[in-house]
Amino acid sequence: MEPTATKITVVRWARHELIEYIVIAAYLYICFSALILYKATILRAHGIEYEALGLALIKALVLGKFIVIANTLRLGELSGVDRPILKILSKTLCFGLLLVMLSVGEEVIVGLIHGHTTRESLGEIADGYLPQAFAVGLLMMLILIPYIAFREISARLGEGNLVKLLIARATAAHDAQA
């Protein structure tokens, strides 16, 4: 292979990775922002001001990069499984657990920076309320399902075909059936 061909391949791969990263980070930002706005409205009803949309952006950018890496490493892929639903559920569980672990790690690191012990930091996750921590983990996995399902269905249909299908106008034959 010539150096020029290798360079083009690397550039194409880098472009693909960047686009994938931008898409997942944007998707996560929209989801996290919606959750933060929801939380803010509930807290505001109790007289507590809360808005952290900047936090949603930072979290989306960081977690988006880890999702791209997890995709590259094929995290959660089951060998020999040909059913898309099983692939989607397996990846969702693995990615969700990864994101929860990363979020816990983030809380511990931020706590250490602010002079808290690891134990104190862990106690502050979800305000020390285990059902809330579980709910956050569940929401993370629910947010991942559409993204992972889109990727799996797209891979099955062939690269770019699902996007074309979703943005194309209906054909005359389809209009006649409707």
Dihedrals phi, psi of 2, to nearest 5 degrees: -75, 155
Residue 152 vs residues 83, 95, 98, 166, 175: alpha-carbon distances, Å = 10, 14, 19, 15, 28
pLDDT truncated to tens, each residue of the chain (178 aa)? 456 667 778 888 889 899 999 999 999 999 999 988 888 888 888 888 877 778 889 989 999 999 999 998 988 888 888 888 999 999 999 999 988 888 888 888 888 898 988 888 877 776 666 787 788 889 999 999 999 999 999 989 988 888 888 888 876 555 555 5
pLDDT on residue 30: 95
Distance CA 163, CA 153 (A): 10
- Taking Cα atoms as reference points, which of 95, 90, 22 lies closest to residue 60? 22
User: Which residues are CB-contacts of 145 (< 8 A; sequence separation ≥ 6)?
Assistant: 88, 92
pLDDT on residue 27: 96
pLDDT on residue 150: 93
Name the one residue in this structure whose structure tokens are 């891979």: 155
